[in-house]
Amino acid sequence: MTQPADRGARLRAVVAVQLGVAIVTLDISLTSTALPAIAQGIGANPASAIWIVNAYYLAVIAALLPLAALGEIHGHRRIFFAGLGVFALGAIASGLAESLAGLAVARALLGLGSAAVSATTPALIRTLYPPDRLGRGLGVYALVVGIAFSVGPTAASAILSVADWPWLFLMNVPLALLVVGLAARDLPATERNIRPFDAISALLCAAMFGALLFGVASIAHRAAWPVIAGALGAAVACFLALRRREANHAAPILAVDLFRLPLFALSSATSICAFVIQGLVFVVLPFLFQFKLGYSQVEAGFLITPWPATLAVMTLIAAPLSDRVAPGLLGGIGLFVVALGLAAIATLPPDAGIVSIAWRLVICGIGFGFFQSPNMKALMSSAPPHRSGGAGGILAASRLLGQSLGAAAVAVCLSLDPQAGMVAAIWLGVAVAGLAGTVSFLRLLPAVRGR
């Protein structure tokens, strides 16, 4: 692979890649926080407005693994740049949308761009950092994600206090162009795994995830059972066809070869469960703060900030710890701490003040911080270097699949009971946190650790 010519070039390349991560993460955080305001602006009810989030996640999940494969074949740098361009176009379309359907389609386009950036970023980081510093590079990656999530609620509140909701998306356009300008000269080409691109496998993979998430979203919105059964049945059929087609493939798009590695498989499972919690909480909290506790849209955005802000700080502590303490132990402890914090949030009194809310969210941020960057390192380092693209795709897919399932869970709870459903969604998060912590502890078994 090609390394940057000097330390300054490498630093500029790192900044460009991390800024790209920050933009797509900030977009997710902005949209989740501002969903009540967006729903009001386009005249949609809260349960239907979840489609704004679901359409984005459906596009991202469907495209992630095929784009990761394209990155391995044609170079992650090229796919990264293409993703930024599509992301900018999707941001323009989202800002100009005038209906729920139009915004959902525009968000899907924006999601395709986000998928390209998310699928290639871990592999680019692995290129920019030597093996003995990979943990630090992935720690910075997790830190940037945490900061972007931290800034998101505050930025959404600040923007909505002076402008209408379309500017939440339009502001992404100059930011994406800035990343292209920064990365154009110094971002190195990555090692290419030259092989034919199997378009049929890519379509089957995209259709499988698309049908799966459509089925989950249909359950969330209480669609007719024939529609739900058809979508889930199509997902199973695509999975079986994909497995059969890629049975003897050395580098399959659906990276079943990597899931034969116990540490990789359990790290991915832990990631999915953990990000179900994050997706659920960051969608439901704005509704909880506004409609149950009586805070305004702007106040709700600021109230969410302690969780991601604490997460960003904890990344600085957890990343070095992961070099000395097993990620399975750090993640398991952290996720059970998250469960305690969520239980405290679920029991908030109706007259809860800012301090009462903040300390509960800080507990959640501490726990999630112990999970995130160590888990990234465990997942990426357990895969061989020539499968960095596949591992990076699974890393991003695990995160986004979990977040989309969390958002769908909120829609189910709100559609069943708009008031009690908010608290029920948080209790569901408590249960998932306990499950995620248990899965993380399984990585401590000698058979998994290779001892």
pLDDT tens digit sequence for 83-115: 999 999 999 999 998 888 899 999 999 999 999
- Please indicate, yes or no, whether residues 231 and 261 belong to a single structural domain of this protein: no
Does residue 51 belong to any structural domain of this protein?
A: yes
Does residue 169 belong to any structural domain of this protein?
A: yes
Most confident of 154-163, 200-209, 442-451: 200-209
- Please indicate, yes or no, whether residues 403 and 302 belong to a single structural domain of this protein: yes
Q: Give the integer Cα–Cα distance in Å for 107 and 28.
A: 10
**CB atoms closer than 10 angstroms to residue 267:** 31
Terminal-to-terminal C-alpha distance of the chain: 32
Residue 398 sits in a domain of what CATH number? 1.20.1250.20
Does residue 194 belong to any structural domain of this protein?
A: no
- Please indicate, yes or no, whether residues 164 and 66 belong to a single structural domain of this protein: yes
The dihedral through the CA atoms of 123, 126, 127, 131 has a sign that is: negative
Query: Could you say which of 180, 215, 248 is where a domain stops?
Result: 248
Residue 448: predicted pLDDT: 67
- Quick one: average pLDDT of 225-243? 90
Summary count for the chain: helices (H), strands (E): 18, 0
- Quick one: average pLDDT of 312-325? 79
- Please indicate, yes or no, whether residues 243 and 133 belong to a single structural domain of this protein: no
- Please indicate, yes or no, whether residues 262 and 115 belong to a single structural domain of this protein: yes
The dihedral through the CA atoms of 314, 316, 322, 327 has a sign that is: positive
- Please indicate, yes or no, whether residues 94 and 229 belong to a single structural domain of this protein: no
Asked which of 20-24, 58-62, 435-439 is least confident by mean pLDDT, the reply is 58-62
3-state secondary structure 354-389: HHHHHHHHHHHHHHHHHHHHHHHHHHHHCCCHHHHH
Does residue 410 belong to any structural domain of this protein?
A: yes
Please give the DSSP secondary-structure letter assigned to residue 291: I
Does residue 1 belong to any structural domain of this protein?
A: no
- Please indicate, yes or no, whether residues 270 and 173 belong to a single structural domain of this protein: yes
C-alpha gyration radius of the chain? 20
Asked which of 31-35, 194-198, 225-229, 359-363 is least confident by mean pLDDT, the reply is 194-198
Residue 447: predicted pLDDT: 65
- Quick one: average pLDDT of 166-195? 83
Nearest alpha carbon to residue 284 among 348, 211, 353, 336: 348
- Please indicate, yes or no, whether residues 240 and 291 belong to a single structural domain of this protein: no
Confidence grade of residue 150 (pLDDT, cut at 50, 70, 90): low
More confident residue, 139 or 26: 26
Query: Could you say which of 210, 226, 248 is where a domain stops?
Result: 248
Is this prediction's pTM over 0.85?
Answer: no
Q: Give the integer Cα–Cα distance in Å for 10 and 47.
A: 45
- Quick one: average pLDDT of 262-288? 88
Does residue 286 belong to any structural domain of this protein?
A: yes
DSSP string for residues in 69-112: HHHHHH-HHHHHHHHHHHHHHHHHHHHH--SHHHHHHHHHHHHH
Residue numbers of the domain that contains 127: 7-189+249-449
- Please indicate, yes or no, whether residues 231 and 135 belong to a single structural domain of this protein: no
Mean pLDDT, the chain, whole residue set: 84
Q: Classify 31 as helix, strand or coil.
A: helix
* pLDDT tens-digit map of 400-444: 778 878 888 888 888 778 778 889 999 999 999 999 999 999 988
In angstroms, what CA-CA distances link 336 with 151, 277, 331, 425? 25, 12, 9, 17
- Please indicate, yes or no, whether residues 273 and 233 belong to a single structural domain of this protein: no
Q: Give the integer Cα–Cα distance in Å for 267 and 329.
A: 12
Does residue 269 belong to any structural domain of this protein?
A: yes
Nearest alpha carbon to residue 309 among 355, 366, 270: 366
Query: Could you say which of 232, 248, 264 is where a domain stops?
Result: 248
Does residue 2 belong to any structural domain of this protein?
A: no
Amino acid letter, residue 301: G
Amino acid letter, residue 42: I
In angstroms, what CA-CA distances link 450 with 267, 365, 437? 15, 31, 21
- Please indicate, yes or no, whether residues 181 and 227 belong to a single structural domain of this protein: no
- Please indicate, yes or no, whether residues 339 and 228 belong to a single structural domain of this protein: no
- The count of domains in the chain is 2
